[in-house]
Amino acid sequence: MNRDLSLLIGILAALLAVLLLGVFHSTLALDPGQRLASLALERLPESGVSNPVTAVLLNDRAYDTLLELAVLLAALLGIWSLGPARPGFQPAGPALAAMVDWVVPLAILSGGYLLWVGGHAPGGAFQAGALLGAAGVILRLAGNASAGLPSEVWQRWLIVLGAGVFSLIGLLLALTGYGFLSYPPGQAKWLILLIETAATIAIGVTLAAAYVGGRPRMAQPPRSPLAAPTADPEAKR
């Protein structure tokens, strides 16, 4: 790019930053006024969980979280539609392999802990799902081409699990007269835990599958010698 133009863009971006800083400073100086925080904290005992962030995510703004799981699903569909995954990395050396043997089970265990602790302390489905996804990334870096994920059919089911369980519970609640995703009093905790468990698995599988970066290949591609001459040699790169 032209050097003068990039300088001009830099000056404009700096001016924008100064403007935003000024606005932000005067906003902080103002009286905060009526905030959603007081409402959210006041209704916390009814929400079924005692961690306010989880209450907002899974109860007050459950719609938002459901649609976000749909965004994850759509992103993975986009990645899969771009073609097959690249082959994985070389198998890890003994030191990395030994570390992976320890780190992956620990990551899964910590994911389960984070899922449970999300009810009353920082944690929850997103953190737990991110840990599961990280376990998949580590496995793929260590030479497991499928990032530890099951076959494609199973992956499809696990990936829709989050949005699926979420909307099924919402529809069942709507049919029984409570309204879409308005939990009946007393049942909220278990419904939230069920949704969060499904969401954790779905988020973990989706993130790991996104890291694989394409439609999953079969473990042993059935490459018959008769089919080889017709196949495009470029496709096997």
Backbone angles phi, psi at 56, to 5 degrees: -65, -45
Positions in the binding site for another protein (CB under 8 A): 1, 6, 9-10, 13-14, 16-17, 20-21, 24-25, 28-29, 32, 35-37, 40-41, 52-53, 55-57, 60-61, 64-65, 68, 71-72, 75-76, 78-79, 82-83, 86-90, 124, 126, 129-130, 203, 206-207, 210-211, 213-214, 234, 237
Please check whether residue 128 is in contact with residue 198, taking contact to mean a CB–CB distance below 8 angstroms: no
- Taking CB atoms within 8 Å and a gap of at least 24, the contacts of 99-105 are 100/138, 100/139, 100/142, 103/135, 103/138, 104/135, 104/138, 104/139, 104/148
Q: Of 111, 122, 136, 77, which is closest to residue 199 (Cα–Cα)?
A: 111
Rounded to a whole number of angstroms, the minimum distance from the CB of residue 19 to another protein is 9
Q: Closer CB to another protein, residue 22 or residue 105?
A: 22
Q: Of 117, 200, 134, 135, which is closest to residue 162 (Cα–Cα)?
A: 200
Q: Which residues of 204-220 are buried (b: 16+ CB within 10 A; e: fewer)?
A: bbbbbbbbbeeebbeee
Q: Closer CB to another protein, residue 55 or residue 158?
A: 55
Which residue has tokens 């899964």?
Answer: 108
Rounded to a whole number of angstroms, the minimum distance from the CB of residue 177 to another protein is 27
Q: Closer CB to another protein, residue 78 or residue 105?
A: 78
Rounded to a whole number of angstroms, the minimum distance from the CB of residue 112 to another protein is 18
Rounded to a whole number of angstroms, the minimum distance from the CB of residue 72 to another protein is 5
Q: Closer CB to another protein, residue 97 or residue 172?
A: 97
Rounded to a whole number of angstroms, the minimum distance from the CB of residue 23 to another protein is 9
Rounded to a whole number of angstroms, the minimum distance from the CB of residue 47 to another protein is 10
Helix (H, G, I), strand (E, B) or coil at 1: coil
**Residue 110: both structure tokens together:** 């910590």
